Structure 1
């Protein structure tokens, strides 16, 4: 936390949770990580990252699609199959991104913090004081919920594209 952060005066002085396991610190770490930061980018940069991942996914799916539908014989089926495979791989990447943000959101929203003192075998639970809970819930509501909503829209668009591809596939047969 920043030194001039007014939330430092909250009653977390007696908090037994290790610093790296505090939900707010986990949020800050996630926000700064290379991969998870993608979801926090402005919309145009976010979309460019999504397209970039889809292109790489398409490059992986295209040779597999070409084995079943050579481009020379079945150009439309090749394009649909390789694009659908790219969307599938992109979907897996986005699911990982969504699950990370969803996990942090739930840790911030929960009134109890489960933490480990020294290993997996000695877990404890800390009940957040009211002011810490209010702060964490504000962060989850105003910082993370818009990210999750944006990702849900992305999933809906990908599902729509997948559905359009399925309809076109049926028309080709």
Structure 2
């Protein structure tokens, strides 16, 4: 359901922050961040596993598992982590974009192309609605993704330390 302020808002429907939020929330890629904790964790594990399957042949070429098991595992994990970081960065960039659009008191929009952009000041009720959506819907998603990236960064650095010292 697309919401819009028809009589008040000159911004095209698809460029209104609330409709961009609804579209992002239902998109097949970005909705992965809105899923429950178990489903989110399952998706993270699946993406990491795919990354591991892609990076392990490369790691095996450099470090044969039968001769260098620890370097093989660590390099495969780092390769899988890189894919997962790219995936999470794409998710968080989309959600940060929506957060920024909801947070602003103005809406920049394009009327017919990139060359004729306009700025419209949101009315107070729209500002309040957008801030509520941002704080209660978008911020928890951004926090979840930020925490996930932080944990992944810690794991990746621990793998690098293992790589250096062992």
TM-score range, shorter chain: over 0.9
User: Secondary structure in 2 aligned to 1:114?
Assistant: strand
Q: Tell me which residue corresponds to 1:65.
A: 59
Q: Which residue of 1 aligns with 2:107?
A: 113
Aligned length: 166
* Cα distance in 2, alignment partners of residues 73 and 101 from structure 1: 44
- Whether 1:24 aligns to 2:18 is yes
Q: 2:149 aligns with which of 146, 155, 169?
A: 155
1:130 aligns with 2:124: yes
RMSD: 1.4
**Uncovered stretches (5+) of structure 2, i.e. residues with no partner:** none
User: Offset at 1:65?
Assistant: 1.1
Q: Which residue number corresponds to residue 96 of structure 2?
A: 102
Tell me the TM-score normalised to structure 1 length: 0.92
Partner Cα distance (1:164, 1:84) in 2: 10
3-state secondary structure, aligned to 1:73: coil
Give yes or no for the alignment of 1:82 onto 2:71. Answer: no
Could you list the runs of 5+ residues in structure 1 that have no partner in the other structure?
none
Given the alignment of the two structures, is residue 143 of structure 1 paired with residue 142 of structure 2, yes or no? Answer: no
**Would the aligned equivalents of 1:12 and 1:132 in 2 still touch at CA under 8 Å?**
no
Matched, 1:47 2:44: no
After the TM superposition, which of the residue ranges 138-147 and 158-167 deviates more from structure 2? 158-167
Shift of residue 167 of structure 1?
Answer: 2.1
